[in-house]
Amino acid sequence: MVKHKMIISKATPEEYYSVRLFYHSLIDALEGTKYHPMWQKDIYPAPEELKSAIETAKDAGMKAIRLDVLKGNVPAERLYTSIGFVYVDTLKLFYEDTGRVDFELYELRV
C-alpha cells in the first residue's frame, strides 16, 4: 500500500472563491433531481444527514462511498474524516467550474 503525506494549508482568497463557486454550482445543478444533497449554500451537511446517506448506501448493498474534495477544503475534510471517511489519494481532476485542479479522494467502506 502506498502511503501519501497529506499537507493541509490555508486557502488563499482566490482559492476560497473557486471552492465556494464550485460548491454553489453543484447544489444548483442537482436541485430538483433525486441526487440533490439537500444542502444549503455555504452550509456543509450535518453529520446526521451524512450518516443517513451512509445507511441508505448500506441498505442498497453498496460496498463503498467515495468523495472528491477540493484540496484545501479543510472544513469538508474534517467533517468527512469525523464520520469515518479515509483519505485515499490526491489526483488532478477536471470539473467545468474548477478546471484541472487537485482533489483529495476519500472513501468509506459500508
Q: Is residue 61 part of a domain?
A: yes
pLDDT over 80 (residue 28)? yes
76 lies in which domain range? 13-109
pLDDT tens per residue across span 54-102: 888 898 898 998 888 888 888 888 888 988 999 999 999 887 767 888 9
For residue 68, is it within any domain?
yes
23 vs 8, residue with greater confidence: 23
Query: What's the pLDDT score for residue 41?
Result: 64
The CATH number assigned to the domain holding 37 equals: 3.40.630.30
Q: What is the pLDDT of residue 69?
A: 87
Task: Say if 25 falls within a structural domain.
Answer: yes
Question: What kind and span of H or E run contains 48?
Answer: helix 47-59
**Residue 4 counted as domain residue:** no
Residue 59 domain flag: yes
In sequence order, the β-bridge partners of residue 93 are 101
103, 93 in Cβ contact below 8 A? yes
46 versus 90: the higher-pLDDT residue is: 90
